[in-house]
Structure 1
Amino acid sequence: MRQFAKSFLLLLIFTSFIHAQQRSRVVTLDHGVKDPAVSPDGNRIAVSILGKIWVLPRSGGEARQFSEGFSWDTNPAWSPDGQFLAFAHDLPNGSDLVLLNLKTGHNQVLYHTDNLIQQIAFSPNRDAIFFLMRRSQYDCHLWHIAIDGSQPKQLTEAQNWHETSFTLSPDAKHAFVDSGRYGGTNIYSVDLDPFKSHRLTNTPDDQTSLQWSRDGKKLAYIENMDGRESVMVAEVNAAGENISSPQRVFFSSYDDKELALDPNGRTAVLVAGRKLYSLDLTSGKIDPIAFTARFNLPEQAPADLLITHARLISATNAAPIENATIEIRGGKIAAVRAGAELPAASPLPVIDAAGKTVMPGLMDNHYHFWDIFDGPRLLSRGITVIRDPGSDLADSLNYREAIALGLTAGPHIYTTGPLIDGHGGYHPMVDVEIDNPRAAADLVRSLKAQGLDALKVYFLLKPEVLREVVKEAHAQGLRVTGHIGVRTSWSQAMDAGIDGFNHIRVWPDFLSPAEQPQGENETLDAEKNPIPRMQSDWSKIDPNGERAGALIQKMVDHHIGFDSTLSIQHLGDFWRRSLGLEQYQIASDTYARMGQFVARAQKMGVMLLAGTDDGSLFEEMESYANAGVPTLEIVKAATVNGARWLGKDAEFGTIEPGKRADVLIVDGDPLKDIKSTRKITTVIQDGRVVFSK
């Protein structure tokens, strides 16, 4: 942990130094919006754009930036007099609740938490602020803090439940919250003092982005059903005791919509697909709100380098080159030569890699990038590329763009956006749920239009829905990976045309329904011992048997990319302490079985994709080595294979002329010992040194 912290600091120092030496550049955006809030006079909109707070005219136009620096700032809220903005100021160590005086520019931190602050609202007399605080995706609740800075008070609390939005009554004595466990969220009415609540809706769908009109007579919200989002308007009374006559005023395919009512209650600002719109709540008429946000960014350093005296592992099938020279120009590999002869009068900065190995930057094929501050840490571990197989749609696209523009440091992100799951999904903050096969095509087309790089299906998706998702994805030029193995077997998914698998959840392909785990946290032998269900299921599967061989051959025939996340299935010291000797031995044996399955899959021709599920890529590669996978194949699994699966291998993944210059320099030889990848000396991304020690 100390080394990671040191690496993080070194990276920040280096990045700051480079930026300090460069001229500024201007990047103009007309998108990237989240968290809209309309001013009390209805003339301005406050938003978060790529992690900074901006204010623009309600009619559109030039946006003005109100926050800057290393933080990621979100969820602005206006004070009742329009003179202050409160917002969440996210940092590597948590969130600050910040109060900004718009006239003086003075900031005041009201509260700091190690968790994440989300939606914010002022009380009518500006003496208090209400906000959501998220500890995890299953624990997000409503809090209250006085402006004088006294300790906050938690207002809602239920283990494994979450609130994703709330709205206060005009007198702040009542609130509507949307709350849920797994699957859909429902609307609850809450009396704040004394606390009392009751449910108002009961559906399998998500109801979010709640907005109570200033006159207390209307509630507007977003309803997400079968991959379609609708803006709903219902009648309510001043105490929030009921909802009646809900009307659908606008709908379209899922694109992560958010709503902010205008003070008149007749119109609203709508965010859809990270852009702004004006919505008439009576007619449903929608008009774009055009704006420009101009970021002043440091000019980027030259992306030209010369690496000499290197042992080169190109991650192709070519043998390693000793004493190699790699020339980088304009962020791409310009030339690779055997020998250390330098170009005549070369002006390029030189990195002498004598005694070291140069290889492509690493790719984690299973990293949920939910925290922008993970970026520098990943770079310090040599990870220059990730595939994100499941994140909030707008957040994922904004993080990808912020890194690409140089607003912050991090790996190149190739994202699938939200998990596409069936009703009752386990990850409600990062999924979109669909139960109707006929709705699949519109959803896929909308996700494609947002700019996703691939799609991911999840384990509660019905087989017939999965088939339609894959069919339309392929028509749109998108590949599909899947964490499945509950409602749909791997064999069924391959018949439907799926392109990849995540994890090793294969029990429907090998076990009878009576043997398969059912229900939350239930194991195959739940009444006998507490061994986790993945280990329990593999205790009855023979990785070297005919059925396993047949499944693997089908994976080969269907060109499956296999992201096994093997290392996270290893049960460490916690389990050694909590399980009996026999139980722990069973768990250890089943982990070995999983490793045998992975090694056999690679040997038979399945393309391995090294991924961690937010763990350690070093441990994942070492788990492959311990299972018997050859080191060159491990290197490919953590570099070029991910690029090949995405159809991007002409752009990155190997050290060859014309490829993106994402380069890792390590002590030792990873082909002799894969643990050498831990001995990082230099990380280069797009031809620029982003980490060195």
Structure 2
Amino acid sequence: LEMAPSGARVWCGGCPPGEERCGTRGSYGGDDDPLAGTMNMRTRLLLTAALLLLGGLPLSERLRANDDAEAEITLALIGGWLIDGNTPLPFENPVILIAGNKIKAVGRLGRVRIPTGVNVIDVQGKFILPGLIDAHAHLEGLGLGERDAEFTDTPEKLRHVILQNARLDLFSGVTSVRDCGSSELVLRLREQIEAEGPRLFASGPQFVKRDPTQPSLPLFLEYDGAKVARRKVREQIAKGIDFVKVRLTRQRPLPTLEELLAIVNEAHRAGLKVAVHVDAPHDEAVRLAVMAGADTIEHMAPLRTYDDRLLLEMARRNIILVPTLYQIQAQRVDPLERNDEDLIEPPLHNRLPAEILQALTQRAALWRRNVLEWRTRGYDPKRTLREAFRSLTRARLLGVKVALGPDTGSDLIPHGRFYKELVLYANMGISPIEVIQMATRLGAEALGREKELGTIEPGKLADLIVVDGDPLLDPEALRHVVLVIKDGRVIEVPRHEAKSR
């Protein structure tokens, strides 16, 4: 501690240094400061207490405690710029110390001591971000719609696709994935998925209201009545789901409030969150999800409501919206504006099997024909996209939180290009730093894991990525992930794949 001499001026922060026009004195005061004696006495008392506390331990024990703390450090990440997921600006030359699978310390180079012998990774010129969180994905999907079945029609093929998608996600910077509806195979493969890919948060099959006129599908769990719904939630919890996914859709009758409340309450009793897929009817289904206490609402239905009170209630109840807006761009805009060769750009183009690339090209041709036919009837996909983002701005102004997840695995949205949704949001006028926070900190909130994930700060799990380029100036830089750290483990992305030539 440096004691300011009596009468010394201290910069108040409101005047330029060296021009202390306001005459503000430091907390130690001067001879004319009536509080000087009191403040000096307080300072002495605080220093005395601190010395007594520090002196309570023998020197050898204090030194040993410091050595033990340093011995825990296994990795140091230095240099570059840090976007921590909390603050609105990055800072230069950070030091991030990692102990095992946890972040131990974060500070500036020169101010944080790096223990000798620790593995140091210098990322000078690059940007460090929290690991990305895809809040709406399907690990069993290839981006081919109904043609997925051609590549997943046996358990072994499906297993191969799931693990391939997990690896693609991790290499693209996604360190946590929220699988919003899949077969129980995803749950059974959890250990291998997390060994080769991101952290897995899976809902298993989706809950749907029983309709005798509709076929029963393996990806759906049918219920009819609150008692049956509650029992099926308990059965899924026993199988290891991480959250519950409910579908409110035009293809099925809407459940009663009692039925949906039974599902939500049973999940909450077990500490699990509930995601509700809503497509139509918009106002009625959104109101039902809000009244039942859903934790997240998936897709665009809340943006199509005519009642702002629903959005205000979503904000009041802290219901997070995952609008999956990149679907419009991928399915209705890109097929018209991109040729077949540019549809899937590097590095994903280099990682997908040739037969999948060919099938994606054919799928895009089908969407292109459909959209062109719709345009003859007055449909404009770009106008639809602009309107969706205007509605999203309205929802955010009313206080609704937004997490990102493009419905990865659905039509023309293959795994391994989560960055595309972030680029879209930035291009539509949302600041890149806010977009990154939607894909990290708010994604962690959607998972219910904000105390462990989503930001880079001491005590949180060591999930980080390094990108080559400045994503605040050019969001496309998020495509160039060169290093991934997941759970404290370093995964280096091959350089020739990380950036297109």
TM-score by length of 2: 0.65
In structure 2, what is the equivalent of residue 683 of structure 1? Answer: 484
**1:606 alignment partner, one of 377, 380, 400:** 400
CA contact (8 A) 1:467 1:493 kept: no
Q: How does 1:439-454 map to 2 (within 5 A)?
A: 439-454=228-243
**Residues 684 and 401 of structure 1: is their aligned pair in 2 closer, same or farther, counting only changes over 3 Å?**
same
- Which one of the candidate residues 118, 134, 147 is aligned to 1:364? 134
More strand by share: 1
Aligned ranges for residues 161-310 of structure 1 at < 5 Å? 304-310=74-80
1:661 equivalenced with 2:462 (yes/no): yes
In the alignment, is the contact (CA less than 8 A) between 1:602 and 1:629 conserved in 2? Answer: no
Label 1:379 to 1:333 Cα distance change in 2 as closer, same or farther (>3 A): same
Provide the C-alpha distance between the structure 2 equivalents of 1:576 and 1:598, rounded to a whole number of angstroms.
26
Query: Is 1:330 paired with 2:100?
Result: yes
**Counterparts in 2 of 1:347 and 1:426: CA distance versus 1, 3 Å:** farther
What is the aligned partner in structure 1 of residue 210 from structure 2? 423
Deviation at 1:426, TM superposition (A): 7.6
* Conservation of the 8 A alpha-carbon contact between 1:485 and 1:506: no
In the aligned structure 1, how far is the partner of 2:114 from the partner of 2:302? 58
Aligned partner (choices 582, 585, 589) of residue 383 of structure 2: 589
Partner of 2:347: none
User: AA paired with 1:639?
Assistant: T
**1:462 corresponds to:** 255
**Partner of residue 435 from structure 1, selected from 207, 224, 228:** 224
Alpha-carbon distance between aligned partners in 1 of 2:470 and 2:224, rounded to the nearest angstrom:
50
**Structure 1 residue 422: deviation in Å?**
1.7
Shift of 1:627: 2.6
1:380-417: CA deviation from partner (whole Å, max 9, x where unpaired): 10111101111112x1222222234x3xx111001111
SS at match of 1:451: coil
Does the aligned pair in 1 maintain the 2:88–2:433 contact within 8 Å? Answer: no
2:166, 2:198 within 8 Å by CA — same for their partners in 1? Answer: yes
Which residue identity is paired with 1:663? L
1:617 lines up with 2:418 in the alignment: yes
8 Å contact kept, 1:610–1:617: no
CA contact (8 A) 1:599 1:624 kept: no
Corresponding position: 1:559 with 2:318: yes
Match of 1:504?
Answer: 300
Does the CA contact (< 8 Å) of 2:289 and 2:297 recur in 1? no
Q: Distance in 2 between matches of 1:347 and 1:584?
A: 66
Greater RCO, CA 8 A, separation 6+: 2
1:345-402 deviation line (CA, Å, top 9, x unaligned): 5212221111111010111111111212212111110111101111112x12222222
> What fraction of aligned residue pairs are identical, expressed as a percent?
33
Evaluate the alpha carbon distance shift between residue 584 and residue 671 of structure 1 in structure 2; reply closer, same or farther with a 3 A threshold. Answer: farther
Which whole-Å deviations, capped at 9, do the CAs of 1:528-560 have from their partners, x for residues lacking one?
Answer: xxxxxxxxxxxxxxxxxxx35333222212211
Q: For 2:167 and 2:74, locate their aligned partners in 1 and report how far apart those are by CA, in whole Å.
A: 21
- Asked if structure 1 preserves the Cα contact closer than 8 Å seen for 2:186 and 2:204, the reply is yes
Q: State the partner residue of 2:265.
A: 471
In structure 2, give the amino acid aligned to 1:396: V
SS at match of 1:569: helix
Partner of 1:170: none
TM (norm. structure 1) is 0.48
| CA–CA separation in structure 2 for the residues paired with 1:396 and 1:635 | 27
Deviation at residue 602 of structure 1 after TM alignment: 2.5
State the distance in 2 between where 1:560 and 1:434 align: 24
Aligned partner (choices 168, 172, 178) of residue 387 of structure 1: 178
Q: What number of residue pairs does the alignment pair up?
A: 351
Checking the alignment, whether the CA contact within 8 Å between 1:599 and 1:627 is kept in structure 2 is: no
- Is 1:401 the equivalent of 2:182? no
Residue 634 of structure 1 aligns with which residue? 435
Stretches of structure 2 that go unaligned for 5 or more consecutive residues are 1-71, 141-161, 337-364, 496-501
**Deviation of residue 582 (structure 1)?**
4.6
CA distance in 2, matches of 1:358, 1:485: 37
Provide the rounded CA distance (Å) in 2 between the counterparts of 1:344 and 1:576: 55
CA distance in structure 2 between the partners assigned to 1:550 and 1:462 by the alignment: 22
